[in-house]
Structure 1
Amino acid sequence: MRRHAFACGVMVFALHANAAAPTDADLDARVHALSEQLRCLVCQNQTLADSNAELAVDLRRQIREQLRQGASDEAVKQYLVQRYGDFVLYKPPLKPMTWLLWFGPLLLLMVVLAALWRARSRRAAPTAPLDDAERRRLAELLDEPPPQRSSHSIDTLPPLSPP
């Protein structure tokens, strides 16, 4: 009876240990899912999963090893954040140190829109033609005789003569 209970205990332990150990396919899936959430530090706009840089390959190896040893996804992320900073995360946490990452694009858009609006509002409005007093004043400033105004002329100055 004791032998039978011991054999059952060994079988239950073996089944539990076998079920708890991740298979290579499960481990590959976890490594890939976690690598999709992390940024390649060399390429900077690719995930670790997409990058073939030497550092990315090394980091994927480290992630695999940590997951194989039983570390959780969050523990692996925290390890990489401690080592490389929040930049390694594709979705960094919202905290004062990362406000520029989160709100920088919106701030830049607002600055560009404000500059465009300001440039448009400063555009010179069409000016009215000069009256006779303004023509005389302009002629005095330019030390030229005032141009004669014709009845069908549009306030244009006479063409400059070649030197």
Structure 2
Amino acid sequence: MLRIVCLLVAMMAPGMTAADVDAVYDFDSRSEEQRYQNLISELRCPKCQNQNIADSNSPISKDMRNAVYQMMLDGKSNDDIVDSLVGRFGEFVKYKPDLESRTFVLWATPFIAVLGGILLVVGVVIRSRRAGMAAPELSAEEQARIDKMLAERNQNGND
């Protein structure tokens, strides 16, 4: 009975250890391989949203990597490859969208936020300096009370 169980485990073991192996791409030169790596690291996975297609294991990323490789073999330029994938999946797949009227706010938001922060700090500093310069005058009665308190303090401190 033990032999049968061992035989069954041995027969099932290769199926349990099979791993999902990514496709291995052959390139003519190191520069082509580097170009491929740059392209797949610059394109975002539509499913994972915050991973590039080089790091994602989703099926759509695998399809996109295959498409990039195939288009490279067909002699397409980087712009043609990116435009093709943008046409298929939308502008979202680009980590750095082009500066257009509809993406202007996306590009301008960091500058607007920094400028707003600087203006806020300048306003607070100016307001605090103005408040410090315009110290209110004490009335004669208030000045007399302060002088009396200081005199009492000095008298108590010397005893």
Does the Cα contact within 8 Å between 1:39 and 1:90 map onto a contact in 2? yes
Question: Which of 106, 111, 116 is the aligned partner of 2:116?
Answer: 111
Which structure has the bigger radius of gyration? 1
Question: Which of 26, 31, 41 is the aligned partner of 2:28?
Answer: 26
Does the Cα contact within 8 Å between 2:45 and 2:56 map onto a contact in 1? no
Q: Which residue of 1 aligns with 2:56?
A: 52
Give the drift of 1:71: 4.2
Task: Give the letter for the 1:104 counterpart.
Answer: T
Q: Which residue of 2 aligns with 1:130?
A: 138
Does the Cα contact within 8 Å between 1:43 and 1:53 map onto a contact in 2? no
Q: Which residue of 1 aligns with 2:102?
A: 97
Give unmatched runs, 5+ long, in structure 2: 1-24, 151-159
How many residues align? The count is 118
Alignment partner of 1:90: what SS?
Answer: coil
Distance of 1:47 and 1:39 partners within structure 2: 4
Give the drift of 1:131: 0.7
Distance of 1:151 and 1:72 partners within structure 2: 85
Q: Report the TM-score, using the length of structure 1 for normalisation.
A: 0.54
Give the drift of 1:111: 0.9
Task: Give the letter for the 1:131 counterpart.
Answer: S
Alignment partner of 2:84: what SS?
Answer: helix
More helix by share: 2
Q: Pick closer, same or farther for the CA change 1:120–1:150 going to 2, 3 Å.
A: closer
The sequence identity of aligned pairs, in percent, is 26
Question: Which of 78, 86, 99 is the aligned partner of 1:81?
Answer: 86
Q: Report the TM-score, using the length of structure 2 for normalisation.
A: 0.55
